[in-house]
A = this chain, B = another copy of it.
Amino acid sequence: MKQNDEKRLVIAALGGVNEIGKNMYLVQYGDDIVVIDCGSKFPDESLLGIDLIIPDISYLLSNKDKVRALVVTHGHEDHIGGIPYFLKQMPVPIYGSRLTLGLIEIKLREHGILHETSMTCINADSQIELGTIICSFFPTNHSIPDCLGVVFDTPEGTIVHTGDFKFDMTPVNKQYPDLHRMAEIGKKGVRVLLSESTNAERPGFTASESTVGAHLLEAFNKAEGRVFVSTFASNVYRLQQVIDAAVQTNRKLSLLGRTMVNVVSVAQELGYLSVPSGMIIDVQEAAKLPPEQCTVLCTGSQGEPMAALARLAASSHRQMKVDIGDTVIIAANPIPGNERNVARIIDNLYALGAKIIYGSRSELHVSGHGNQEELKLMLTLMKPEYFIPIHGEYRMLYLHRELAESVGVQRENVFILKNGEVVESVNGVVRQSGHISAGQTLVDGFGIGDIGNIVLRDRRQLSDDGILIVVITVSKAEGKLLTDPDTISRGFVYVRNSEELIEDINQLVIGTVEKMQHEKINQWSVMKKTLKDTLGQFLYARTQRRPIILPIIIEV
């Protein structure tokens, strides 16, 4: 990025385009950078052993003195999951709504950096000045309370970032989307709109969260034993509706799963959940109640193998169990990639004799993201001159562009970006221009960014075909073998069942070493490479497998 452009406006994604997850965007004017969100995402199956992916923030690190604030739109993991890692490298002030900050606090406490962090609570009426950039906000609906869209007033015009949204005209807890405010912003003129694209593939209008309540109550009314409900812990509206159904059917409520306990505690404390006193009881107590008086709210609706629902399904939860006649409600759709794990849990629950209510036909889940008509509604309200579809995989961004065109945005004014690609505005001229560094930082245990392509490539080969280690001892003087080779397999074959193969390997090693000795090859590197190649070819021909082959030569 050009250093001398003091009057240049820059918009870029550090995460969140061409992917679902690790959202992080920036708006920069001259020397003022405002960061929006800092999410994490889970690795796909190709990133073996990786725990979490967070955005690469090297651009921000090299512009440390310019970063004025981190503004957070809402409290979902794909918007806040990377915050502790970010703050440890550059402590900047955080702005977010009450619930959002409450959820961030849990993370900061876990990472031991709560007290040194500056957090400022904002709401729809707030206005914050961050250098030359003035931020204001508008309330939206989503599957978590207290979501905000962000308006950036800059010398190059108004930029709007929607955050995640749907248009729910009959919301739970009356958290309405502020259509009038959005109309006002649009009327004043929006230079560039960044709008989320999650449901750009889905026609129509997403159902209201409040439709779930009636179906929940119906299920509770029919239930004879205990009722277990598994859903996203952060969907406080859903939790409220579960609590309401439990109240109406005279059931107590117990919570299973650390995240569920944490979120309910924060949401209750901040007044986002209304729970009659004495309603929530300890799980040991709940286990002793007559089943028809008991409701359990639990984590694990995505089939996570260590979460409460999976443990209940496997009868391995120590304090609670699912019995014949109990009802289990999975009030969530599996996110792509989780279908098999969820299906396994349903199988296990059926085998326990429970009644299971799951799947899209049950109408116990609605999306938190707006469908095509809602995306068009946002575009129509904001009437942007330029449009950047964000928060989605490529096909979603692509289809969002088509929606934008259908409501009158010029096709050439839509930018489908990759992470790091820059849209700039200079003297009113908006165009795509260059890029800043962006990418993914892998978290594995305590290691942040220390796992690279070589380690991952090794893990892939190890996971497919294991490793074969051959240890030989040779005399320093003549390169002569002093003992028989020692062959060790991990993940390749089970040595005790493969005596013949191991014997053939050893003979091949002895033959190869003798041949090299004969040819007076005594450089270690050449010996190792020769052994590796010879064994590799032999093993592939014999087994059609390609283990990592590691010759260890000890010279004495």
Contacts and interface: CB of A to CB of B under 8 A. Distances in A.
Interface of A: 18, 44-45, 48-49, 201, 203, 336-337, 339-340, 343, 346-348, 350-351, 356, 359, 361, 393-395, 398, 444-447, 450-452, 454-456, 458-460, 462-467, 469, 471, 473, 486, 488, 490-494, 497-498, 542-545, 548, 550, 552, 554, 556
B471 A361 contact: no
A361 B202 CA distance: 9
Given A447-B545, A462-B466, A45 B45 contact: yes
A116 to B, nearest CB: 23
A394 B550 CA distance: 44
10 contacts: A44-B340, A49-B465, A350-B395, A450-B498, A455-B492, A458-B466, A462-B463, A462-B491, A463-B463, A486-B552
A260 to B, nearest CB: 24
A395 B462 contact: no
Contact of A394 (B350, B393, B454, B486): B350
A395 B494 contact: no
A39 to B, nearest CB: 19
B337 A494 contact: no
Among all A-B residue pairs, the 7 with the closest Cβ atoms: A445-B544, A463-B463, A462-B462, A347-B394, A458-B491, A336-B339, A459-B491
Nearest to A361: B203
Nearest to A339: B336
A395 B471 contact: no
B347 A494 contact: no
Given A49-B545, A447-B544, 8 more contacts: A343-B393, A350-B395, A351-B394, A351-B398, A444-B545, A451-B494, A467-B490, A554-B554
Contact of A543 (B445, B462, B492, B493): B445
Looking at chain A's contact residues, the main secondary structure is: mixed
B463 A393 contact: no
A488 to B, nearest CB: 7
Nearest to A445: B544
Nearest to A539: B445
Contact of A490 (B337, B462, B493): B462
Instruction: State the number of copies, please.
Output: 2
A552 B471 contact: yes
A490 B550 CA distance: 10
Of A454, A463, A498, A543, the most chain B CB neighbours within 10 A belong to: A463
A87 to B, nearest CB: 20
A339 B346 CA distance: 19
Contacts of A494: 450-452, 454-455
A460 B45 CA distance: 13
Of A450, A467, A543, the most chain B CB neighbours within 10 A belong to: A467
A509 to B, nearest CB: 15
Contact of A343 (B359, B395, B447): B395
Contacts of A469: 469, 550, 552
A554 B343 contact: no
Given A49-B464, A337-B340, A466-B49, A393 B544 contact: no
B48 A464 contact: yes
Nearest to A471: B552
A251 B12 CA distance: 44
Contacts of A545: 49, 444-445, 447
B340 A542 contact: no
Contacts of A544: 445-447
A350 B492 CA distance: 40
Nearest to A483: B554
Given A446-B543, A462-B490, A466-B462, A336 B347 contact: no
Contacts of A465: 49
Contacts of A359: 201
A549 to B, nearest CB: 11
A544 B445 CA distance: 5
Contacts of A346: 395
Contact of A493 (B395, B447, B492): B447
Contacts of A337: 339-340
Contact of A18 (B347, B361, B451, B550): B347
A197 B108 CA distance: 49
Contact of A398 (B350, B444, B446, B543): B350
Given A446-B544, A491-B458, A543-B447, A467 B464 contact: no
A314 to B, nearest CB: 13
